[in-house]
Amino acid sequence: MRETVKNNCQLLEEGEFSLPKGWEVKKLGEVGNIFNGNSINAKVKKEKYSNLSEGLNYIATKDISYESVINYDNGIKIPDEDKSSFKIASQNTILICAEGGSAGRKIAFTDQEVCFGNKLFALITTEQVNSRFVYYYYFNSQFQEDFLSQLTGIIGGVSMAKFKKLKVPLPSLSEQQRIVKILDKAFVAIDKAKQNAEQNLKNAKELFESYLNRIFEEKGDDWEEKTWGELIEIRSGRNQKEVLNPNGKYPVLGSAGKIMGYADKYICEKGTTVIGRKGTIDKPLFIETNFWNVDTAFGLIAGKSLTKEFLLYFCKSFNFKELDKGTTLPSLVKKDLITITMSYPKSKEEQKCIVTQLNDLQTQTKKLETIYQHKINNLVELKKTILQKAFKGEL
């Protein structure tokens, strides 16, 4: 019989927690052994620990996904003769990233012994505490709030001392086991439903992309082929500092279409497609107003042979990454763009017909994407709700 019933349990105030009768609050440092792993020099990792056939898998932060999946087969192993120099997390250990952009967000539960990186904190619980109960609590909103409140430093991190002082509510071991059994079963079903919705979302996006690519691959007999240098005008952007005016009429747009201010002058007319010169080079946008493009964005103006929307859809089908000239930041150059070969129907009416078909299909796929994304969001919220109930003793 369950220890707590929502309507007749006695709630005990314990700091920020309201606990059902029979529960207690403990610090993480009291429920098990907490320790971080070892860093490995990149050169040493490559020369000494890469592509070994035997040894303990070494897990870094990058090897844990935001879905809590551990990539054990990352190519890095610690051989038996070096194990004594590394800290080892046993099977059923909780790992959490404690530093950087993934701090508190990358959480995992080991199903085998591993060595691990120094930015990960491991928790091996005592026999009186169910490790998966604490693992699930790491995802609870209260723990996340407590964890984030302890972040310090430029890159953001939680010290070991502060982490050990974070609190966790605990019922008896038997109640922990009962709750974990419920959560395991519920989350398997939720994760499966979420994976199905994510696959359906991916399929919806690929359906449109496939149809779009097929149009430009299976061109008709009345299509022509010319270079962009013959078909369109490419207008380079310019620095916006001298034209910026908070009360200006025209938006100032960056490579990703982000509004960076307003101006009294414009470079490109409405109906122009924007692509990035630097940064976001593969996300063409159709702009329905006159605008000033900054020096990291190109404006593509359709010539007399093309409709504006047909040019946009060609850009959506084209792989601009093939023309990337950047070493660190993706970059395009005008001399490459003008050599792009584009096929198109001679008849603008046929172009308009194709655009209409693509618009209709895109509308339908966007509706499907919205439905599937809404379902994914609902499943994420359902998980949060179940976790909140679990740690209030309401399951």
- Give yes or no for a contact between 168 and 144, defined as CB atoms under 8 angstroms apart: no
Q: Kindly state the greatest CA–CA separation across the chain.
A: 80
Each residue's pLDDT, cut to its tens digit, for the chain (395 residues) gives 344 444 434 444 444 567 888 899 999 999 999 999 999 999 999 999 999 999 999 999 999 999 999 999 999 999 999 999 999 999 999 999 999 999 999 999 999 999 999 999 999 999 999 999 999 999 999 999 999 999 998 889 999 999 999 999 999 999 999 999 999 999 999 999 999 999 999 999 999 999 999 999 988 889 999 999 999 999 999 999 989 999 999 999 988 888 999 999 999 999 999 999 999 999 999 999 999 999 999 999 999 999 999 999 999 999 999 999 888 899 999 999 999 999 999 999 999 999 999 999 999 999 999 999 999 999 999 999 999 999 999 98
Tokens of 92: 């059923």
Distance CA 240, CA 141 (A): 43
| Closest among 19, 79, 69, 71 to 49, alpha carbons compared | 79
Query: What is the CATH number that goes with domain 222-345?
Result: 3.90.220.20
**pTM for the whole thing?**
0.76
Give the CATH H-level superfamily of domain 22-169: DNA methylase specificity domains (3.90.220.20)
Residue type, 38: N
Domain ranges of the chain: 22-169, 177-220+351-394, 222-345
Cα dihedral 341, 342, 343, 348 sign: negative
Distance CA 369, CA 128 (A): 46
